[in-house]
Structure 1
Amino acid sequence: MKVTTDVLAVLDRAETDGNVLRLTSQLDRKLYVATNKVLELAGGKWNRKARAHLFEGDAADAIEQVILTGQIVNKKQQFGYFPTPASVVEQLINLADLSPGMDVLEPSAGRGAIALPIAKLGVFVECVELQEDNARHILDADAPGILGVTIGDFLTCDSNPEFDRIVMNPPFARQSDIRHVLHALDFLKPGGLLVAVMSAGVTFRSGRAEKFRNLVADRGGSIDPLPEGAFKESGTDVRTVIAVIPAPAASD
């Protein structure tokens, strides 16, 4: 079942505490009925005494799946590592406007779905990857242009603005993609460019996502949707976009 954007926005504003979810705004009857139906299908049951929907497990986890996919899913998914399909990699490369000799960072490298094709274009690629097995796969490919793979959590890496381009597909759960992209921007040279796959939630969620949209607009960037099912072959129905964010030019 697909979920409309107005219901997704209501769910994004909801407050959760353990297995409890409370709606935070007064809704007209039509929107409330639609939202209640989604909550029930996601496993939440209205409890009159608590004046809230109660879930068997963590309410935030259940609702995050709905927000990320835009639909009710039948199995729990962890929105962490999903390899980037070749068709999406091609779009990322086109948008990154790469030139031979550029220094490129892939800060959520996985098994190299993005980094390895980029390394064939005459650029120099440095990677960060949390899982040692994935990092070893990239290194074993012995691709020209791959300078190295740092094994660890990218969010703990000290920033250094030394890269012409950053091309990435970060984890999505609990708006991790926003945290990763904001951190990555600190690694761009003045005038550089970041291109990232992100959850479509950045286009409608409030709070952190709204501030992120403002930042993209202020920098003259863009957030464009990918087709539905773009990551289907990777095992997820999460809805995705590509964010393109320029770094400010060096000041005189």
Structure 2
Amino acid sequence: MYSFYDLLGRYSGNNENEVLEYYAGIVRVQIKKLFPWNPTDKTTIINGTIFVSKDDKAVEGYGTVFHRILKRFNDFGTLENIDYDFKSKLFETFLKESISKKNWGQYFTPLKVVRAIVNMVDLSPGMEVCDPACGVGKFLLEPICNDLHRFFLVEDGELKPQIALHGFDKGFDKEEQKTIILAKANMLIYLSGMIREHPDLTGEFAKLFNDTFLLQTNSILGTLARPETDKYDLILTNPPYVMSGSSNLKEEIGKQDDLKKHYAINAMGIEGLFMEWIVRALKPGGKAFVVVPDGIMNRSNDKKLREFILEQCVVDAVISLPLNTFFTT
């Protein structure tokens, strides 16, 4: 009843603003009922007010743009019964065009890099897996995509996850908050086949999305404000690399004795703080696959961090990536 093609078909006999009003007042409201927000961070798969107001009213003048977007999606052919990879690439194409180039790095680790890392991962049921700077969630979703029914069983009419995925990112303005919203939408794309098989479990899938991805809004430290110890079997991540601004984070850490003790290495840059978080958050025998800048390997000010890593971990490999690997380089 509320399908993409039903919406597109309404342009026969209705003007563009009327179709947008139908989407805003009927379709969007139903989607939000199916996928309610997380009361902790107030995000779900559908947030924002691009075409609609905060009270779910169509914004006058956007009817034509909305129609153009639907037609562009339609140009890709049927969106049913196609593999997640195409849907994911389509999703990423539209996302790139919605974000200024300077912010691409916040959202994207190139898919080839993600898959190269994922191919080295040995994932099994019962594991606790984390990405503390998850962006749109690729590092958590790619490892499970080819074996969804192994990791998300449906038994006796219940969804029973066999693996725990934890994705965190911080966001204080609408641009930053897109990360978790889009991560949840991305997870919907990956699990769309299972949802289609079990439409009566939509509420449980919605809860899964909310439990998997969480926006950190209570501190400028984001994930760093939640120190973890011996919790995760596997950590996959590409943390932010910023030198400017790290002094503000260290100042905030210095105000809290528990955080000051946790981040005792006092490494350079935000990536150094994340490395310390990652090492301490791993269970004994756990593994981490982390994308870091070259500087962390040779900066004199990061000597203590390198010593800490070698004392606490076994380094299996260091792999150098070519120049211009990332969108912002």
Normalising by structure 1, what TM-score? Answer: 0.56
**Counterparts of 1:168 and 1:107, CA distance in 2:** 7
- Higher-Rg structure is 2
Cα-to-partner distance string for 1:28-80 (whole Å, 9 max, x where unaligned): xxxxxxxxxxxxxxxxxxxxxxxxxxxxxxxxxxxxxxxxxxxxxxxxx6896
Which secondary structure does the structure 2 equivalent of 1:195 belong to? Answer: strand
Once the two structures are TM-superposed, the CA of residue 196 in structure 1 deviates from its matched residue by 0.5
Give the 3-state SS of the residue equivalent to 1:223 in structure 2: coil
Structure holding more strand per residue = 1
Assess if the C-alpha contact under 8 Å between 1:79 and 1:173 holds in 2. no
Task: Give the aligned partner of residue 128 of structure 1.
Answer: 168
Residue number in structure 1 paired with 2:212: 148
> Helix, strand or coil: the match of 2:126?
coil
Q: 1:225 aligns with which of 315, 320, 329?
A: 320
**Identity of matched residues, %:** 24
Is 2:140 the counterpart of 1:115? yes
Letter of the 2:271 counterpart:
D
Q: SS at the partner of 1:110?
A: coil
The structure whose residues are more often helix, as a share, is 2
**Separation in 2 of the partners of 1:193 and 1:78?**
29
Pick closer, same or farther for the CA change 1:138–1:112 going to 2, 3 Å: same
Match of 2:180, as an amino acid? Answer: A
Q: Which residue of 2 aligns with 1:211?
A: 304
RMSD of the alignment, in Å? 2.5
Distance 1:98 1:224, change over 3 A: same
Offset at residue 224 of structure 1 (A): 2.5
Shift of 1:216: 3.1
Q: Secondary structure at the match of 1:192?
A: strand
Cα deviation, residue 180, structure 1: 0.7
**SS across alignment from 1:198:** coil
Taking the TM superposition and a 5 Å limit, the aligned residue runs for 1:11-90 are 81-90=106-115
Aligned partner letter, 2:323: E
Q: Judging changes above 3 Å, is the alpha-carbon distance between structure 1 residues 216 and 158 closer, same or farther for their aligned structure 2 residues? A: closer
Unaligned 5+ segments in structure 2 are 1-101, 152-162, 172-176, 192-207, 217-221, 244-268
CA contact 1:80–1:172 (8 Å) conserved in 2: no
**Number of equivalences:** 158
2:228 maps to a residue whose letter is S
Out of 186, 193, 205, the residue aligned to residue 287 of structure 2 is: 193
CA distance in 2, matches of 1:161, 1:176: 21
CA distance in 2 between counterparts of 1:119 and 1:133 reads 23
- Given the superposition, is the C-alpha separation of residues 197 and 87 from structure 1 closer, same or farther in structure 2, using an over 3 Å criterion? same
Distance 1:202 1:133 in 2: 29
What TM-score do you get using the length of structure 2 for normalisation? Answer: 0.44
Q: Distance in 1 between matches of 2:111 and 2:284?
A: 29
Which residue type is aligned with residue 151 of structure 1? Answer: L
1:171 partner SS = coil
